[in-house]
Amino acid sequence: MERTQVAIVGAGPAGLLLGHLLRARGIDTVLLEARSRSYVEQRVRAGVCEHPTVELLRELGLADRLDREGLPHHGISLRFDRADHRIDLTELTGKQITVYGQQEIVKDLIAARLAGGETIEFEVTDVALHDLDTDTPRVTWTDATGAAHDLRCDAIAGCDGFHGISRPAIPAPRFYDHTYPFAWLGVLAETPPSHEELIYARHTNGFALHSMRSPEVTRLYLQVSPDDQLTNWSDARIWDELATRLEVDGDFTLREGTLLEKSITPMRSFVAEPMRHGRLFLAGDAAHIVPPTGAKGMNLAVADVHRLAPALTALLRGQGTEQADTYSDRCLRRVWRAEHFSYFMTTMLHRAPNEDPFADQLQLSQLRYVATSTAAATSLAENYVGLDF
Ligand code: RFL
Ligand code: PHB
């Protein structure tokens, strides 16, 4: 039987970062990942790093490339009524966000782990968790060569995302689940951004988002129906619809280019509690999902493991169980703040599928309020840049 201190299931942002945080405290980990290295490094997802996320990566010495290639942003635009309304994040909060692709963070964290002499078990199957109610739980799996493994450890971190095996191992959890009557069609386009900042646009045809990955690559999203298919969306239709929804009185031209990637993502809000059972601790999407409108998912995963690493360290060193015992409740406070903010941004900007003039007017009123009240804008800005860990 193999032995480690913490078994981490899932090499997304949560699992990879937890590995680094534990290594910095002298704790050994084994990291298991269902997919291949190239798959996890290519998976296009989040783009916005909150201020505390960037600070943590810097503290760990993991932000060299992020500092070179990441794009610091001091504001975002809310676009409605054919005009831009800029939220000056830095003026309102003293902080900024950094646009840097999640898959770039994942590449950096994988490279740093391997360079430090640690490994990642990619392409594992049949992962199962055992003896969670004891002080020595086990994880079993089959590796890429077909060999079976049985690992004893002191704690397991379930960082395996929404569809992983960790959350179902918690008996009698409480679920909070909310679905929305729309999804996001996301595209990556080989063209310079059309505007220097992110644009969150509310239009009668539905929401659109202009984001970016680099000075040469633009990331764009369109609100679509949850049962829509990519086959309904030719490149020409996507560009037409983006141009319509992003249209503004004044100087703006949407720069078109080759589409490198297209996908449709459903939107949901989901929380499972508690985030712990015995020696199993959940972190990131394994425990909670937010709609992407607030740009919070990856940042919440980072906040969870920032709390989990010291809690596990104290537990394993016999320095008390208080942090481990309060891990779930303390994480959930931040999670629910982000759930609320993501719901707020989503409902403020998306168009309900059925005509609802009352809802339309409430939305516009909220947007105008955020655009003109310093108090309302500050509230949006401090949630957007990220509340302190
Ligand atoms: P992940 O990234 O899903 O990683 C989980 C990993 O676990 C692996 N896995 C297993 N491994 C071993 N055994 C098993 N049985 C396993 N089952 C699964 C998976 O292969 C995977 O590698 O979860 P993590 O680490 O919690 O990170 C969460 C973030 O990925 C997620 O919240 C964000 O991508 C959400 N998100 C955004 N978050 C932001 O903070 N800012 C954004 O701007 C933002 N934009 C987005 C987003 C998510 C999007 N999609 C596609 C859902 C935009 C989009 C379109
Ligand atoms: C992205 O760039 O992928 C992105 C930006 C902001 C969001 C969601 C996604 O709210």
Q: Is the pTM of this model over 0.85?
A: yes
The answer to whether position 324 is within a domain reads yes
Residues 6+ apart with CB under 8 A from 325: none
Domain co-membership, 319 together with 337: yes
The answer to whether position 81 is within a domain reads no
Domain co-membership, 57 together with 149: yes
> If you take atom 49 of ligand 1, which residue's CA is the nearest one?
45
Instruction: Locate 123 and state its tokens.
Output: 């392409």
3-state secondary structure of 105: helix
The CB of 193 under 6 Å from ligand 2? The reply is: no
Overall number of domains in the chain = 2
The CB of 165 under 6 Å from ligand 1? The reply is: yes
> If you take atom 6 of ligand 2, which residue's CA is the nearest one?
295
Q: State in Å: Cα 35 to ligand 1 middle.
A: 12
The answer to whether position 33 is within a domain reads yes
Q: State in Å: Cα 124 to ligand 2 middle.
A: 30
For residue 157, what pLDDT is reported? 99
Q: State in Å: Cα 252 to ligand 1 middle.
A: 33
Q: Which residue reads 């086990």 in tokens?
A: 138
For residue 320, what pLDDT is reported? 96
Domain co-membership, 357 together with 237: yes
- Taking the C-alpha atoms of residue 235 and residue 208, their distance in angstroms, rounded to an integer, is 16
Domain co-membership, 255 together with 313: no
The answer to whether position 377 is within a domain reads yes
Q: State in Å: Cα 292 to ligand 2 middle.
A: 7
- Taking the C-alpha atoms of residue 77 and residue 75, their distance in angstroms, rounded to an integer, is 7
> If you take atom 7 of ligand 2, which residue's CA is the nearest one?
295
Give the domain extent around 28: 2-73+96-176+268-344
The answer to whether position 206 is within a domain reads yes
Which of 70, 282, 248 lies closest to 170 in space, CA to CA?
282
Burial class (CB in 10 A: 0-12, 13-18, 19+), 204: exposed
Domain co-membership, 322 together with 372: no
Domain co-membership, 254 together with 274: no
The answer to whether position 241 is within a domain reads yes
Instruction: Locate 197 and state its tokens.
Output: 């900042």
| Catalytic residue IDs | 73, 200, 292, 296, 384
Instruction: Locate 272 and state its tokens.
Output: 């499972």
Domain co-membership, 48 together with 131: yes
Domain co-membership, 290 together with 209: no
The answer to whether position 28 is within a domain reads yes
Q: How many CB atoms lie within 10 A of CB 249?
A: 9
Find the ligand nearest to 184 CA. 1
Q: How many CB atoms lie within 10 A of CB 217?
A: 16
Which of 185, 183, 190, 192 lies closest to 242 in space, CA to CA?
185
> If you take atom 51 of ligand 1, which residue's CA is the nearest one?
45
CATH number at residue 207: 3.30.9.10
The CB of 383 under 6 Å from ligand 2? The reply is: no
The CB of 46 under 6 Å from ligand 2? The reply is: yes
Q: State in Å: Cα 369 to ligand 2 middle.
A: 23
Find the ligand nearest to 76 CA. 2
Domain co-membership, 332 together with 373: no
CATH number at residue 151: 3.50.50.60
Domain co-membership, 198 together with 246: yes
Which of 214, 140, 129, 211 lies closest to 171 in space, CA to CA?
129
- Taking the C-alpha atoms of residue 155 and residue 132, their distance in angstroms, rounded to an integer, is 8
3-state secondary structure of 233: coil
Run means of pLDDT, 10 residues per run, the chain, 389 residues: 97 98 98 98 93 98 98 98 97 98 97 98 98 98 98 98 98 96 97 98 97 97 97 98 96 96 96 98 98 97 98 98 98 98 98 90 97 98 96
Domain co-membership, 146 together with 160: yes
The answer to whether position 91 is within a domain reads no
The CB of 191 under 6 Å from ligand 2? The reply is: no
Pocket test for ligand 2, best of 211, 213, 261 (most atoms within 8 A of CB): 211
Domain co-membership, 52 together with 148: yes
Q: 178 forms bridges with which residues in the sheet?
A: 269
